[in-house]
Copies of this chain bind each other. A is one copy, B any other.
Amino acid sequence: MSRGQTDSLPGFAYRFSDPALLRQALTHRSHGDSHYERLEFLGDALLNFVVAESLYHQRPHVNEGDLSRLRSRLVRDSTLAKIAQEVDLGDSLRLGGGELKSGGYLRESILADCLEAIIGAVYLDGGFESARSLVLRLLASRIESLPDAEALKDPKTRLQELLQARGLPLPKYRLVAESGADHAKQFQVACCVALLDEVVEASAGSRRKAEQAAARQVLARLDQASPP
């Protein structure tokens, strides 16, 4: 069978009735007009739904915000790119121009997008159940090993919830200083909570990151202060 007529990929356990769909899903826009971007739109939506449904059933006591956070971790580019690498998807990708494959290096986003496109192509080729099984098969080990929702929260959220649970006022963040040239600004932020006597300060390249860093430090000190 010639390369143009491949009807399946190693690691996907699915055989296409219409190999042209698979070929389109494997084609980057740099390689040709019939590329994967529309399929990626479809596959991304299906992936998000199938993962939502799976988490909904598997975590009956987890609230909506935590379900969203858990899903983000499963469907983000870095996770999808790793899965794509595990099944050697890069070997089958059709890319134009030497620059994209230079040094054997493939951008994470291209691998992730292509994986979504294949999911979309399987949906069109084999229907909802085929695509759903594929998604669950590809993600199985990662769904299995997801951490508790709590561990995925950012420090500001965790700090806020910890204070609210004890009926205490919300933390106060204040911008203390901005320094550096425009392209390399540093923001210093102070965080003040009722449970600590001192004000904790942290710096980072954006105000938001500095606030998160300050909240992380406050959480660490509270952890040390309270016996387990």
Contact = CB atoms under 8 A, between A and B. Distances in A.
Interface in A60-86: 62-64, 67-68
A63 B42 CA distance: 11
A128 interface: yes
A37 interface: yes
Contacts of A123: 53
A56 B37 CA distance: 11
A40 B65 CA distance: 11
Interface string A65-109: 001100000000000000000000000000000000000000000
Contacts of A45: 48-49, 51-53
Given A45-B48, A48-B48, A38 B63 contact: yes
B48 A53 contact: no
A134 interface: no
A25 interface: no
B56 A52 contact: no
A111 interface: no
Contacts of A49: 45-46, 48-49
Given A53-B42, A56-B42, A63 B37 contact: yes
A128 B44 CA distance: 18
Interface in A25-49: 37-38, 40-42, 44-46, 48-49
A64 B48 contact: no
B40 A64 contact: yes
A37 B64 contact: yes
Nearest to A43: B52
A63 B40 CA distance: 11
Interface of A: 37-38, 40-42, 44-46, 48-49, 51-53, 56, 62-64, 67-68, 123, 128
11 contacts: A38-B62, A38-B63, A38-B64, A42-B53, A42-B56, A45-B48, A45-B51, A45-B53, A46-B52, A46-B53, A48-B49
Counting from the closest, the 9 A-B pairs by CB-CB distance are A45-B52, A37-B64, A49-B49, A45-B49, A41-B64, A42-B56, A41-B67, A45-B48, A46-B49
